[in-house]
Structure 1
Amino acid sequence: MKLKPMHSSSYGQKLKLSLRYLKPQSSPLHRSTPFVFAPLTSFTDSASTALQLITHMDSGLLTIVGRSLSVSATACLIACALGLVLGAWLGVARFAGRGVVLTLLNTFLAVPSVVVGLVIYLLLSRSGPLGYLGWLFSFKAMVMAQAVLVLPVVTALTRQAVEDAEGLHGEQLQSLGANPLMRSLLLAWDERYALLTVMIVGGNIDGFTRVMTTAIALETSKGDLPLALGLGLILLTVVLLLNVLIALLTRWREQHESGGVSALSLGVSV
């Protein structure tokens, strides 16, 4: 098969046409003056859209908030169930190496969440020791990571509360024949209002906020500013309500203790 020869004139015209499209055009990148890109939406537009998402109960917004609440509540319950028992025992027990355990516990309080996420990822990956569970990128993995974050906080605060109570009532309980396990249970029950605050604070620090901030960062990177702002408003509202609840519990506890002291002094005077 013979190839048809191309005329030089037609070839030259096509080459000139191609070069013309390859030349730099008058675009913002070739202008001498700086080009300012206009924002897609203003802050007022994003805020109004975010309020509309909240008031109209947007399905995507409710899904993220519901998932955050479920993950945080489950992780907080697991961490509190373990942390309250472990903290109460550490507040009463005296054994060799207790100082090392407390040092490690205080160290775990400062571990970044990124490090915890990396360790959980390595454990649950296919090549990890827990890879056979198939929990990677699942609800259970999120709960596991959140529980690991909350556990040191609850344990440390519980240990401090029970240890302070041990200093006040420990000798009296020992004289009544209470062993360390019984003393830890009795002192934990006596400090139940403080421990309730511990549970709320622990979940507030590493529970709800962790999940919500991740969703806010993701939606911001995707450019969905109204949804990110709506999640931020919900996050601020939840944190505000938690702080109000903690303040009310603290005030009620102080009034309860002052009432108990007044009744005790009245009984002694009588």
Structure 2
Amino acid sequence: MPVTRVLVSPEGPQFSRLILGYWRLLEWRMSPQELLGFIEQHLELGITTIDHADIYGSYGCEAAFGQALRLKPSLREQLQIVTKCGIALPSTTHPDHRLPHYNSEKTHIIASAEQSLRHFNTDRLDLLLIHRPDYLMDADEMAKAFNSLKKSGKVRHFGVSNFTPSQFELLQSRLDYPLVTNQVELSPLNQNTLTDGTLDQCQRRHLKPMAWSCLGGGRLFSEQAYQPLRDELAQIALEVDAASIEQVVYAWVMMLPSQPLPILGSGKIARVKQAVQAENIQLSRQQWYRIRRAALGRDVD
């Protein structure tokens, strides 16, 4: 069965339940033709939504993805392109960035979005996110940038990433249309958004958060501190007939009432196919809490 499609918010776009993240695209060392084949394979699985950011791959991942799309432009209509802006990093392509910083000025947001359009060789972005909250964030100026991009048809929907509930509400207060998601770090290894009000806000606004680093950036498999968690995940995998602990983790994330959309970070289609099966895994409430306990090292109060 292909991946389910869901509305991200009542007035938002329709995305695939699992999203393919291209943060490490350049590390996969694929030729444009190989990347095209990978895109076609995950589209066949029903994963139609892709996640990018202008800074990924030292500002190189969007352009690399666009090179593959140019080999078969018709695929653009099957994809929902999500990208992010707002972080400024030093690089050879941006010599004016003398140190890492945030930039949510109107001119920067618009210029970043237009650069992304050129990289992807497309006339619109399905969703643009502000990558990190800027300490110098002027919500009125950001709203002007969003309104300009929306009016021109260059961006269909807007959201944020790593915003606190108060930062989200500040920006939302300046807009006449809803922000459709908050992309946040969410995994058994990082459960902060379960307690800081972020996922509560998503439920209240009926929007589905996007979940990044569900596997802790690979730390789940490599760090000795997480051995108790790996053991518990392995036991539960046996109980629910899962093929891997990765599937159990994705099922754990998707069980949350805010219905997060996990972002997959692998360029190996076998792992992507395995992750897709997580949609069919139903954990019990106690299994969910066993994973929480194994990750945090304590029961609920």
How would you bin the TM-score normalised by the shorter chain?
under 0.3
Task: Name the larger-Rg structure.
Answer: 1
Give 1 or 2: higher strand fraction: 2
Give 1 or 2: higher helix fraction: 1
TM-score norm. by structure 2 comes to: 0.24
